[in-house]
Structure 1
């Protein structure tokens, strides 16, 4: 009982899980930033940058559902450890390739896919485990701190990825390998069990995945909400690649891209902290529709400026809205999902919400090669505006009285 009254800053197992996952996420963000820089500055290929971005995000489409089933089936601690080992090995292979002076696109895409799959599975397992290391009363604050940690990793990952890249093409990937090692060590010291007792009989993975999909399908509000989020994530992948090319075309360096990400990350951290306050005060529909509208308004100026500070401020506003929405939606999802389904339900939500991200990176490379940065940025803003309009008029979203009915309602 005493453990339930401890503040999060004194909860040893939460801190170990939080720090380890944060370091691992920072490493992943660093390598994700470095992939397009490697192809744009070293390989001189926007299409190659899009293809590598496609590979690192493809696990969100292909691995999401089976990974969720494994999180609910396997020992979560061992699964987290396995993810760190896989990431460490594959990043070590990338370091050896680049240090030898070679750049082979298929190998880089394969490594990006494996590390992306390991990182995705790690996040699913951590999300499912969080309720076993903190009491339910502290769940909003814990998930808010997790989101803030993710935003901070993005904030630091941008300058880290670009800064390490200036030191050597292989350095960002070496840092990622080390981050997996540090995360592995923290996991070994966690004492608490990261899942409850499992009494349900083990079935084949397809049946277990189907159970998670069926549970989500019954959530009417959620189906419509994650459909819109999925479209927005596709558009953001195009926008990020557009931003990098804008900087390059106007004489900026890879470090400039990192500084823009640093400014943007500050907005995300503030949004994550605000999300913990907003969980029980603001309706999810309001947060969703407001975020889509804000993203639309902030994307339009991107087409008409190359000023790094202005681009950073625009992205900071987008990151604020996105982080706030992630916290509000994430707390709702964890609260209403049965423990035995946490991994599978989270994976279904993630698949619906971000599965198109890999396509966005590929589409972004093709659009930029064909139409340039200005037209691509305007097209992204127009598409986001359509999503915002859909959110306002969609019956499933406007009829959100289900949110007021508490746990078990049809909401995230």
Structure 2
């Protein structure tokens, strides 16, 4: 890992990505708290989270082509600037007109647009920066940047919302996007892309479909294991703050504690997973990770205090992110860089459809029944990911394709 961090381009991107994700954490908790405080409706929050995924779903058809054809560094910088402008306009509207749910819908859509391009671009950018033998370490560091950003964004954001209000958190959100853009802009980089022809969208997309048609094991792996991410980005984006507010009565700081503990566990996984894989292998590690993450998700609202729930979130983050590192490494090893964006596009469409459905369903179940049933629904995501790994191990063709 130290070898990769000695690369000035990767280091500046790494720092910029952390700061960008800190901003995202501030934004998530500020918006979530605004919606729950003003509407007192988990279903309304679910709709906001679902709306945030819609532009990504629409953009996904061309996102991979964009990522594969442009300079990825400057795309990341421009996306930081775009989100800075959106948040700044939202702050202005809140200060002048007050909260209005109808204003939040287009803001959520525009932020979702920026996020849906930034994250896959970052992954493809990392793949372009490092050699094949460094994929695992690079994935661990990329994941570490996500978790440090999540840990600091959620933790500090929760306390700032609690003591100073959500608008103050949005100011920090805007500042984070500005600083992130500066760091990434300073990273020396020359694109190595050779695939800059003028092929049409359908032809470009077909390359991703053709690849997955030939690699059905990769397709099945993606469709099932992505559900563990859907649990976090979909169902738990609604449920975590609801648990803090309604079960433990701790409000926004409790949300910051739980989300921060998840991020802390996920951060430690970037160090622990390499040793774990070396001892038990990737297959057993994935089985362990999805099992523990699902159990921790299920029991978290049943615990005696929010601090114990935070411990459950810590272990959920530790194991879920460890599994994510393994899966992302497998994808980098199997999927050629020249079509990585187009394959990500296909998985991105699926991911956003599932995120939209998961957030809406979690909000509906929680509002109509209770948060305990909502968390049972979230836990089912991990169970399906676990079943997917079991099937891959049992089917000889899939096993040979994925675990070479």
| Length-normalised TM-score, structure 2 | 0.90
Q: How many aligned residue pairs are there?
A: 401
Within the alignment, does 1:344 sit opposite 2:338 as a pair? Answer: no
Within the alignment, does 1:32 sit opposite 2:28 as a pair? Answer: yes
Within the alignment, does 1:175 sit opposite 2:182 as a pair? Answer: no
1:56-96: per-residue Cα shift (whole Å, max 9, x none)? 23344333342111011222233222211211110111111
Task: Flag the 1:133–1:223 CA change in 2: closer, same or farther, 3 A.
Answer: closer
Q: CA deviation at 1:113?
A: 1.9
> Are the counterparts in 1 of residues 65 and 205 from structure 2 also a CA contact under 8 Å?
yes
Within the alignment, does 1:189 sit opposite 2:186 as a pair? Answer: yes
Q: CA deviation at 1:163?
A: 2.2
Corresponding residue number in structure 2 for 1:259? 257
Q: CA deviation at 1:120?
A: 2.4
Match of 1:151 among 144, 147, 151: 147
Which runs of structure 2 are paired with 1:1-400 in the superposition (5 Å)? 7-166=3-162, 167-193=164-190, 195-199=191-195, 201-236=197-232, 237-249=234-246, 250-278=248-276, 283-305=281-303, 307-353=305-351, 355-381=353-379, 384-385=382-383, 388-389=386-387, 391-392=389-390, 394=391, 396-399=392-395
Aligned counterparts of 2:6 and 2:201: Cα–Cα separation in 1: 38
More helix by share: 2
> Are the counterparts in 2 of residues 47 and 369 from structure 1 also a CA contact under 8 Å?
yes
Q: CA deviation at 1:6?
A: 8.2
Aligned counterparts of 1:37 and 1:93: Cα–Cα separation in 2: 19
3-state SS of 1:117 partner: helix
Greater mean alpha carbon deviation, residues 369-378 or residues 88-97: 369-378
Aligned counterparts of 1:354 and 1:123: Cα–Cα separation in 2: 13
Greater mean alpha carbon deviation, residues 92-101 or residues 287-296: 287-296
| Length-normalised TM-score, structure 1 | 0.88
> Are the counterparts in 2 of residues 91 and 177 from structure 1 also a CA contact under 8 Å?
yes
3-state SS of 2:199 partner: coil
Aligned counterparts of 1:304 and 1:347: Cα–Cα separation in 2: 38
> Are the counterparts in 2 of residues 60 and 355 from structure 1 also a CA contact under 8 Å?
no
> Are the counterparts in 2 of residues 159 and 259 from structure 1 also a CA contact under 8 Å?
yes
Aligned counterparts of 2:305 and 2:199: Cα–Cα separation in 1: 55
Which structure 1 residue ranges, 5 or more long, are not aligned? Answer: none
Q: CA deviation at 1:106?
A: 2.8
Which structure 2 residue ranges, 5 or more long, are not aligned? Answer: none
Task: Flag the 1:200–1:53 CA change in 2: closer, same or farther, 3 A.
Answer: closer
> Are the counterparts in 2 of residues 220 and 410 from structure 1 also a CA contact under 8 Å?
no
> Are the counterparts in 2 of residues 49 and 365 from structure 1 also a CA contact under 8 Å?
yes
> Are the counterparts in 1 of residues 293 and 317 from structure 2 also a CA contact under 8 Å?
no
Q: CA deviation at 1:378?
A: 3.1
Aligned counterparts of 1:397 and 1:350: Cα–Cα separation in 2: 25
Aligned counterparts of 2:244 and 2:183: Cα–Cα separation in 1: 38
1:280-333: per-residue Cα shift (whole Å, max 9, x none)? 665544333333322332233234235111111111111111111111111221
3-state SS of 1:58 partner: helix
> Are the counterparts in 1 of residues 148 and 263 from structure 2 also a CA contact under 8 Å?
yes
Task: Flag the 1:377–1:129 CA change in 2: closer, same or farther, 3 A.
Answer: closer
Aligned counterparts of 1:66 and 1:215: Cα–Cα separation in 2: 17
Q: CA deviation at 1:230?
A: 3.6
Aligned counterparts of 2:124 and 2:341: Cα–Cα separation in 1: 6
> Are the counterparts in 1 of residues 301 and 309 from structure 2 also a CA contact under 8 Å?
no
Task: Flag the 1:303–1:149 CA change in 2: closer, same or farther, 3 A.
Answer: same
